[in-house]
A and B are shown apart, each in its own frame.
Chain A
Amino acid sequence: DADVTQTPRNRITKTGKRIMLECSQTKGHDRMYWYRQDPGLGLRLIYYSFDVKDINKGEISDGYSVSRQAQAKFSLSLESAIPNQTALYFCATGGGLGDEQFFGPGTRLTVL
């Protein structure tokens, strides 16, 4: 079984809809992250959490919110999706050397 799982893997939605992306991990790590990936822009950090009671904004948090329901679960919400939020979204956990991170397989989100 994968250490970091993301659901759904693919989602197509319409402008204005609320969307939740979920992430679960079995690595027992305290740190969890949400990134988006766009061609030519690399990975950009949306939100991160260093433990269940800690939530921090990343580089591009506007239009997004998160919830850390448990050590193992970290969900990302788009309150009112817009087309420029079309991207590949990755969840990651951290807890190894330095801040070594382990990534989920990604969710491809398309906002029409």
Chain B
Amino acid sequence: GEDVEQSLFLSVREGDSSVINCTYTDSSSTYLYWYKQEPGAGLQLLTYIFSNMDMKQDQRLTVLLNKKDKHLSLRIADTQTGDSAIYFCAESRGSGNTPLVFGKGTRLSVIA
């Protein structure tokens, strides 16, 4: 399909790991991004991965990329209440001369 797919909701307990999944569409996508939107705010870039990588780690965040299956995931270790937000994945298709294509966002709720 043409859409970037994400599940809409995820609920985890504080201290557990969260895994947010995304399926993208273009096998030639160069960059894949994760954005975070906190309540009442705009989107902020959380992390990104270049298509020639299969993993990227940044403190509590781990991004995994499976190019064969066009699957991207974001793992948040030791999830905190401050991680409650909407998480969007986005792909930069082809040569990067077209706008990013965003998924619909996954709302992460962290239960204390």
Contacts and interface: CB of A to CB of B under 8 A. Distances in A.
Interface of A: 4, 33, 40-43, 45, 48, 50, 58, 90, 92, 94, 97-106
A65 to B, nearest CB: 18
B2 to A, nearest CB: 11
Contacts of A103: 35, 42-44
Nearest to A108: B40
Contact of B30 (A40, A42, A98): A98
Nearest to A2: B42
5 contacts: A41-B104, A50-B97, A90-B43, A92-B43, A98-B100
Interface of B: 8, 30-31, 33, 35, 41-45, 48, 50, 88, 90, 92, 96-100, 102-105
- Mostly helix, strand, loop or mixed at chain A's interface? strand
B99 A45 contact: yes
Q: For B33, B43, B103, which residue has the most chain A Cβ atoms within 10 angstroms?
A: B43
